[in-house]
Amino acid sequence: MKMHSNKWAFVIAMLITVGLLAACGGTETSQPTEPPKVEQPTEIPEGVEPTVPPSPIDSKALLQQRCTACHNLNRVTNKMWSLQQWEQSVSSMIRRGAQLNNEEKEALVKYLAENYGP
Ligand code: HEC
């Protein structure tokens, strides 16, 4: 029994040595043990807005996606409001539950004032 475990210890020690040699030994290894690591962006948990949007804000899409949950777009696009009025309106929609972060809100308010202004 004792012999056996010694033998295994020897084999394991050899394996470790070989492993270490392979890991540290020279640059000329023909087969890299691991593919080069590529940094993966950490995944953003669902429902959490990224602090930095990946692309410029598409205000039209925001309007179509975030402002249609409770009423249709006619309710929005039949207005002719100034920037201030849109700002107030969008703020009040956010209080009601519209999902917009500050940047999105700003972009949307600007878009609305430009396209549905007086
Ligand atoms: C959580 C539900 C909800 C979402 C999301 C929402 N709204 Fe509203 N909105 C309402 C309700 C309820 C009313 C009607 C009450 C009122 O007129 O004050 C309304 C009314 C409006 C009106 C008409 C106000 C008036 O005086 O006639 C406008 C304009 C408007 N919403 C714009 C928006 C815009 C822009 C968005 C997207 C940013 C949006 N809403 C998203 C709930 C919502």
Q: How far is the CA of 93 from the centre of ligand 1 (A)?
A: 5
Residue nearest to atom 1 of ligand 1 (CA): 97
User: Given a cut of 80, is residue 100 above it in pLDDT?
Assistant: yes
CA of 45 to the centre of ligand 1 (A): 28
How many helices (DSSP H) and strands (DSSP E) are in the chain?
5, 0
CB atoms within 10 A of CB 33: 8
- What separation in Å is there between the alpha carbon of 88 and the centre of ligand 1? 11
Q: Where are the domains of the chain?
A: 59-115
How far is residue 1's CA from residue 60's CA, in Å, rounded to a whole number? 77
Ligand 1 centroid to 97 CA: how many Å? 10
Global confidence as pTM: 0.65
Mean pLDDT over 97-108 rounds to 96
Phi-psi region of 58 (alpha: psi -120 to 50; beta: other; left: phi over 0): beta
> What percent of the chain is modeled with pLDDT above 70?
67
Q: Tell which atom from ligand 1 comes closest to the C-alpha of 108.
A: 38
Task: Say how far residue 107 (Cα) sits from the centre of its chain.
Answer: 20
Is the minimum distance from the CB of 71 to ligand 1 under 6 angstroms? yes
Kindly report the protein residue whose alpha carbon is nearest to atom 34 of ligand 1: 67
Quick: pLDDT tens for 43-79: 666 776 666 555 689 999 999 999 999 999 999 999 9
Q: Which CATH class is domain 59-115?
A: mainly alpha
